[in-house]
């Protein structure tokens, strides 16, 4: 929702589909979009990390976004990998489809509502509304911060 007194501030986002829902990341964080490569499982890794794959000589972890958000799993069907990079990590997010690359006004991004649910909320920067579609803008830094997840999970059971 645009508030009249704020100047327009355009950001570019990449929108992709995972498990029927749409997610978005800032275009500056997207490295490239590739077909699903063969993923090597990493035993004892946190469950949302499906494994690692070879991206032109680089070893990149592949992430199951839905599992990270506590919404199930996408690993079986996803055919595309969206490679994203933060300061600390380069990872591939498995996706079913990449919908579009588009521009949105920062003012159209709403803070995540409490309603969305507890687990997923902390990994989301805001909700982008384009016409009737709603999509979650991912907070990759939070998504990839291992502080609270690994301590328990990486311990060998």
Residues in touch with other proteins (CB under 8 A): 38, 40-46, 49, 51-54, 57-61, 88-91, 144, 146, 150, 154, 156
- Residue 21 or 45: the one with the smaller Cβ distance to other proteins is 45
The CA-based dihedral angle spanning residues 115, 121, 124, 127, taken in that order and rounded to the nearest 10 degrees: 0
Q: How far is the CB of 117 from other proteins (least distance, A)?
A: 23
Q: In the chain, count of helices (H) and strands (E)?
A: 4, 11
Shortest spacing between CB 62 and other proteins, in angstroms: 10
In the complex, what is the shortest distance from the CB of residue 7 to other proteins, in angstroms, rounded to a whole number? 38
Nearer to other proteins, 40 or 113 (CB): 40
Residue closer to other proteins (CB basis): 104 or 144: 144
Q: How far is the CB of 41 from other proteins (least distance, A)?
A: 7
**Sheet of 49-55, strand order:** 30-35, 80-85, 90-95, 58-63, 49-55
Tell me the torsion sign for CA atoms 35, 75, 144, 142. positive
User: What is the Cα–Cα distance from 75 to 49, expressed in whole angstroms?
Assistant: 10
Residue closer to other proteins by CB (options 88, 100) is 88
């Amino acid at each position: 929702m645009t508030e009249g007194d704020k100047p327009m501030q355009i950001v570019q986002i990449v929108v992709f589909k995972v498990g029927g829902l749409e997610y978005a990341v800032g275009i500056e964080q997207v490295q490239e979009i590739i077909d699903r490569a063969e993923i090597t499982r990493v035993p004892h890794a946190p469950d949302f990390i499906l494994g690692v794959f070879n991206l032109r000589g680089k070893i990149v972890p592949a992430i199951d976004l839905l599992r990270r958000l506590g919404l199930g799993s996408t690993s079986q069907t996803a055919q595309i990998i969206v490679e994203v990079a933060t300061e600390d990590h380069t990872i591939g997010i498995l996706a079913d489809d990449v919908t579009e690359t588009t521009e949105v006004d920062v003012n159209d991004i709403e803070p995540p509502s409490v309603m969305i649910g507890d687990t997923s909320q902390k990994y989301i920067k805001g909700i982008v509304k384009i016409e009737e579609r709603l999509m979650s803008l991912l907070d990759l830094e939070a998504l990839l911060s291992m502080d609270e997840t690994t301590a328990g999970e990486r311990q060998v059971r």
